[in-house]
Chain A
């Protein structure tokens, strides 16, 4: 609606034209009162406005427990419940495997190789007669370690590159954008193969390859959102108040890029587990003798036609955990975002 429709009255005050009496009256300094607060029961009144310099009267914070609200928000969704349960089981099993497994890892039963599930061997045995369930339990902690360290490295690499890419220094941003675009074309597998030359097959190869590779992806994918935040009015406003570039990047740009970063990191955790399986199968991942889901897959996949069950268990475990990680990132993104999660906003209020 045009303004003249809303402000029909034409009045003259001190030679001033236009706008209604109401507007004119509200602007006179001698008639100033607090504007009616929208949503405020008092509305417009004539009480004096508080001066800026009066003794401080701190307004106490109401409500705490944002973590509880985030967890509740995640739990309220089916995907969230699935992800939380699976990831909790993964962590518990990983920790438990340090002190206990149903059978000792190196205990083999030469009379029962490729045995089907039984009371003695819950998920059967492999070609050496070792207990598949025990190896999957022990493998859980290796994969958890790989996922956590890969995600941490990807986070450090990705966020560092992201900050450089949205830097106000044109030279820094241009160089980092070109570098990321060039390096992102190198497959993670190739990075791992190159690293394996001096390092040999090791968990470190997987972590380094995944961390660097996924960090590059993270920077590339989160850049548009970070650029929006860096160019936003609130970032300009902070700079206008004297904030340094680092302040704006870490207080405004990074938090507002978190939704993209969280999703990408959770995807990275899942992909790191898949990469572990693939790289171990290629012989550049987890070394022989170290339990991992990829190791369990690679030792049995050659006989999948004959003994499919030994492949099914680690394959199923990897699939369920990767799906849970992917869902976890998406649900977490919504739960920690006050724009989407109204419950989180109400906690503060």
Chain B
């Protein structure tokens, strides 16, 4: 079982003393968090507890008011920092609303392949794709336009290779590429759209995948498929770290290795799934556990 793997684990993403204030409101107050390679960390809490803010800060998409984040020892402190640049290549993000996270005017295949087209393919950067293509993709005006915006320096994958990678990522989430790759988001159900969003997050084979409430905007039946997709990713990519943000302990307990309970910007409890479920140490955590049992 993935969650019980006993290999040596290393913290690849660390946040120390993270505080984030919006005016007078403090969304996070001195949070310490560590994400380990190959492990799934579930961040649990109610609305306004600061869990989404924490993930955005960990991924460098927002700046903490105080505190620090480092990725593989590299500081994540703004767009020019080494940690930020590495995270862009080596992280994937899944949003709560799958339809809002897919460009309505792009086909599924194009959306999934976007991280690769941008040049964010982590493992792909060293993969055979580049060795085989062996050239910059300078076909078409769009590639040349891309070069205008600081993306022309990377070796780019050909259209067919982008589609091939997108197809495999889509298949990993349980959707048939032949059927779905050329569809538009408007032709998808909520569960399908979220699996497409997950495929987009994994296509560049990132070291970290963060999912912000990935199951709260879809129906219960589709949640099974989303959980299946995450389990498949963990099976295929055992060293990928997974961060799942949720307000529902009952859903994430089956995929998470560790749980971090946030309440009003503070950590209420942190531990393994068994520790948190078996020995909740605060009233708030007890309420969450009771809700999960219900």
Interface of B is mostly: helix
B89:A242 contact, CB within 8 angstroms: yes
Beyond A240-B61, A338-B184, whether A16 also contacts B192 by CB under 8 A is no
B80 CB to nearest A CB, Å = 13
- Which residues between 254 and 310 of chain A lie within 8 Å of chain B, taking CB atoms? 255-256
A17:B118 contact, CB within 8 angstroms: no
| B225 interface residue per 8 A CB criterion | yes
User: Which chain B residues border A348 with CB–CB below 8 Å?
Assistant: 107, 182-184
Output the nearest chain B residue to A43 by Cβ-Cβ distance. Answer: B174
| B76 interface residue per 8 A CB criterion | no
User: Which chain B residues border A1 with CB–CB below 8 Å?
Assistant: 220
| A68 interface residue per 8 A CB criterion | no
| B15 interface residue per 8 A CB criterion | no
| B91 interface residue per 8 A CB criterion | yes
A47 CB to nearest B CB, Å = 10
B254:A247 contact, CB within 8 angstroms: no
Interface segment among A31-39, A70-78, A182-190: the answer is A31-39
User: Which chain A residues border B140 with CB–CB below 8 Å?
Assistant: none
B228:A339 contact, CB within 8 angstroms: no
- Which residues between 56 and 80 of chain A lie within 8 Å of chain B, taking CB atoms? 56-59, 61-63
| A252 interface residue per 8 A CB criterion | yes
| B35 interface residue per 8 A CB criterion | no
Interface segment among B6-14, B26-34, B146-154, B260-268: the answer is B146-154
User: Which chain B residues border A233 with CB–CB below 8 Å?
Assistant: 95, 97, 100-101
Interface of A is mostly: loop
A341 CB to nearest B CB, Å = 10
A109 CB to nearest B CB, Å = 53
| B16 interface residue per 8 A CB criterion | no
Beyond A35-B228, A345-B184, whether A234 also contacts B88 by CB under 8 A is no
| B223 interface residue per 8 A CB criterion | yes
Set A17, A38, A244: member contacting B192, Cβ < 8 A: A38
| B248 interface residue per 8 A CB criterion | yes
- Which residues between 1 and 51 of chain B lie within 8 Å of chain A, taking CB atoms? 1-4
Output the nearest chain A residue to B169 by Cβ-Cβ distance. Answer: A52
Beyond A3-B220, A37-B175, A52-B168, whether A16 also contacts B254 by CB under 8 A is yes
> CA A233 – CA B3 in complex, angstroms?
30
| B104 interface residue per 8 A CB criterion | yes
User: Which chain A residues border B214 with CB–CB below 8 Å?
Assistant: none
Set A6, A27, A53: member contacting B255, Cβ < 8 A: A27
**Chain A, 15-34, contact with B by CB distance < 8 Å: what is the 0/1 string?**
11111001110111110111
User: Which chain A residues border B187 with CB–CB below 8 Å?
Assistant: 345, 349
Beyond A15-B278, A17-B289, whether A49 also contacts B183 by CB under 8 A is no
User: Which chain A residues border B184 with CB–CB below 8 Å?
Assistant: 338-339, 345, 348
**Chain B, 195-237, contact with A by CB distance < 8 Å: what is the 0/1 string?**
1000010111100000000000000111111011101101111
B172:A52 contact, CB within 8 angstroms: yes
User: Which chain A residues border B248 with CB–CB below 8 Å?
Assistant: 3
User: Which chain A residues border B229 with CB–CB below 8 Å?
Assistant: 35
A28:B171 contact, CB within 8 angstroms: no
Show 24 A/B contacts (Cβ-Cβ < 8 Å), sorted by A: A3-B220, A4-B294, A16-B277, A18-B250, A27-B227, A29-B231, A29-B234, A32-B228, A34-B171, A37-B179, A52-B202, A59-B167, A232-B100, A233-B100, A234-B101, A234-B102, A237-B93, A237-B114, A240-B93, A242-B88, A244-B150, A345-B184, A345-B186, A349-B187
Given contacts A32-B228, A238-B118, A255-B103, 11 further A-B contacts (CB under 8 A): A4-B294, A18-B292, A22-B224, A26-B224, A27-B228, A28-B231, A32-B231, A59-B177, A233-B95, A237-B200, A250-B145
- Interface residues of chain B, those whose CB is within 8 Å of chain A, are 1-4, 59, 61, 85, 88-89, 91-93, 95, 97, 100-105, 107, 109, 111, 114-115, 118-120, 123, 127-129, 132, 145-146, 148-151, 160-161, 163-165, 167-169, 171-184, 186-187, 189, 191-192, 195, 200, 202-205, 220-225, 227-229, 231-232, 234-237, 248-251, 253-255, 273-274, 277-278, 289, 292-294
